[in-house]
Amino acid sequence: MREERLEGLAIPVLRLFHPDHGLAQLLRGGGSGVTGSGVAGSGGRLARLVHRRPLYHLSAMEPHGEETAAAVFDFVCLYEEDGDEGRVRSLGEYLRRFPRHEVAIAEEFLRLQREEAGQDAPLQSGLIEPAAAGHDEEPDRVGPYRLLEELGQGGQGSVWVAEDTRIRRTVALKLLAGAFVTDHRRARLRREAEALAALAHPCICPVLDADVEADPPWIAMPVLEGHDLGHALEQARTRAGTGDGAGGSVVGGAGKPAAHGRGPVLLPSTRSELHGLLRFFEAAARATHAAHEAGVVHRDLKPGNLFVHQEGRPVLLDFGLATDGSGVGEALTQSGDVFGTPAYMAPEQHDGRMGEVGPRSDVFALGVTLYEALTGERPFQGASLFELQQAVLHAPVADPRPRCPVAGDDLVAVLRVALDKDPSRRYPSALGLAEDLRRICDYEPVEARPAGPLLRLGRWARRNPGVASGQIGRAHV
């Protein structure tokens, strides 16, 4: 099942530019999921845009046609929204919001201006040179930073390697972009910046600078040398599937590749490899506990947010869904909303019981990630989101030892406590998980005590009420 974050909405922008690409179907209500507050609310404004003017031609945007088309669409939606709400922005303001697409944005801006002035003749593409499009603004600048290289792009923004022109420092610059710059997402970016600013830990990526009121909003963080655990897991699974061995540290991936990277061996096959992996997760759990002690709950821990530094230590990333325990984060969350990545979310997150989401929810996510690092598979799976939710809510944790024979009884007990359906039966803190992982490596008895036979029987009966009723009936006969 493809991972995707439920909070927010990834819109198939390229399907919106031409009737042959599904636009007519979308406007008739048959499109694929453009709902809520994603881009101007599906029908009305989008239909008005399409009927009023042809959007920018994809053929004029090579070699980056798709990205530029998406940027132009976002710009037109924003321009229309500004007009509806009486806001007036200069061309320079729009250009700063859409770095790398200045020429296309400037041409579309002038086209809109000409139409509003009653001049129907369309502006020919290519009339604006890059130097003219930026005017006195450098097109590769965001605040005091000069953009150097794009590291990655998501549905709501991008991450760049950038140079701080004030002190000649290289940073990773996280940008929101386009129509996704909403008050809600500014608040979420502000929450991430505030959460990181409150933390000082070698295994948590710090924030160096931020301006969430800028256009576009941004956060500056250090450039990390290494790779994320999700990328490493994919490579480890590939090697295991092709017979090249299940273990081995993977260097490179998302972010800048490390020249001499060290990290845990995934899918371990020896006790030494197992202990190295458990030490890695012990450090990650201690960093998570440090965040909890500062009042910050991550809520979206997963392999993609667990970075393997070239020195071998874990670094927690992406606190965009974090809460600080003050109620501010919860005020941004409607009752029943689901936040996180489904395969790593605790049962209380799937149920929308936001009052129960806390440190123990992060312990559950760490347990899922550790299980996956040991076996190459997640403990709960499903062919659809509904099936996955049912597995998380009701399915027992499968014994990892058929796929990871070096996992002993103590580690199985630790995993079952971390992944318990009932938050009150999990480790009360990430520190408790970290300490039990340390005990395994130091050959000490663990404190984890999984559910006993009576509790397991009660849970089985709740999962299989019909069968349980039949058994009870036969017992009375």
Query: Looking up tokens 């009737």, which residue turns up?
Result: 19
Q: In angstroms, rounded to a whole number, what is the distance separating the alpha carbons of residues 237 and 251? A: 15
**Number of other residues whose CB lies within 10 A of the CB of residue 349:** 26
- DSSP 8-state symbol, 60: G
Q: Where are the beta strands (DSSP E) in 223-333?
A: 226-228, 306-309, 314-316
* Annotation says 300 is catalytic: yes
Packing angle between helix 430-441 and helix 409-418, nearest 10 degrees?
170
Which of 58, 18, 48, 12 has the alpha carbon at shortest distance from 31?
12
Q: How far is CA 272 from CA 181, 185, 441, in A?
A: 48, 44, 9
Strand 306-309: give its sheet, edge to edge. Answer: 226-228, 306-309, 314-316
Which of 215, 300, 420, 436 is catalytic? The answer is 300
* Partner residues linked to 150 by β-bridges: 160
Cis peptide upstream of residue 216 (ω within 30 degrees of 0)? yes
Which of 172, 168, 255 has the alpha carbon at shortest distance from 206?
172
Q: In angstroms, rounded to a whole number, what is the distance separating the alpha carbons of residues 357 and 399? A: 26
Q: Angle at the Cα of 275 (from 225 to 443), degrees rounded to 5?
A: 145
Active centre residues (catalytic):
300
